[in-house]
Amino acid sequence: MRQEAVKTAVSRFADLPVLQRSVVVLKDVLDESLAEIASLLDLSVDAVKAHLARGRARLREVNAQAGPLLEARPASAAASRYATLFNERNWDALRSLLADDVKLSQSTHSLRVGRAEVGIFFTIYAQSPEVWLAPAWLEGQEVIAVFENRADAKPSYMMWLEWIDGRIRFIRDYRYVRYVIAEAELTLAPPQISID
Q: CA-to-CA distance for 8 and 182, rounded, in angstroms?
A: 10
- Relative to beta strand 167-173, strand 98-106 is parallel
What's the pLDDT score for residue 96? 96
- The SS3 of residue 185 is coil
Percent of the chain whose predicted confidence (pLDDT) is above 70: 84
The total domain count for the chain is 2
Q: Judge whether 72 lies within some domain.
A: no
Per-residue confidence (pLDDT) for residue 194, from 0 to 100: 44
Structural domain includes residue 117: yes
CA 34/CA 24 separation, integer angstroms: 11
Residues 61 and 81 in one domain: no
Q: Are residues 98 and 147 in the same domain?
A: yes
From residue 26, alpha-carbon distances to 33, 38, 64, 133 in Å are: 8, 10, 22, 29
- CATH number of residue 84's parent domain: 3.10.450.50
Rounded to whole angstroms, the Cα distance separating 178 from 156 reads 7
126 domain residue, yes or no: yes
pTM over 0.75: no
| Domain that residue 41 falls in | 2-65
User: What's the pLDDT score for residue 171?
Assistant: 95
Q: Compute the average pLDDT of residues 43-59.
A: 91
Residues 84 and 120 in one domain: yes
Q: Give the alpha-carbon dihedral of 69, 21, 59, 75, to 10 degrees.
A: 0
Residue 47, in any domain of the structure? yes
CATH number, position 17: 1.10.10.10
Across the chain, mean pLDDT equals 84
User: Could you tell me if 107 and 154 lie in one domain?
Assistant: yes
Give me the mean pLDDT over the 108-127 stretch: 90
What does the pLDDT read at residue 45?
95
Confidence check: pLDDT of 55 > 70:
yes
Residues 178 and 88 in one domain: yes
The answer to whether residue 33 scores a pLDDT higher than 80 is yes
Residue 98 gets the label, from left (phi > 0), alpha (psi -120 to 50) or beta, of beta
In this structure, the answer to whether residues 91 and 138 fall within a common structural domain is: yes
pLDDT for residue 71 is more than 70: no
Classify residue 193: in a domain, yes or no.
no
Tens digits of per-residue pLDDT, 130-141? 999 999 988 778
Residue 186 pLDDT grade (very low, low, confident, very high; cuts 50, 70, 90)? confident
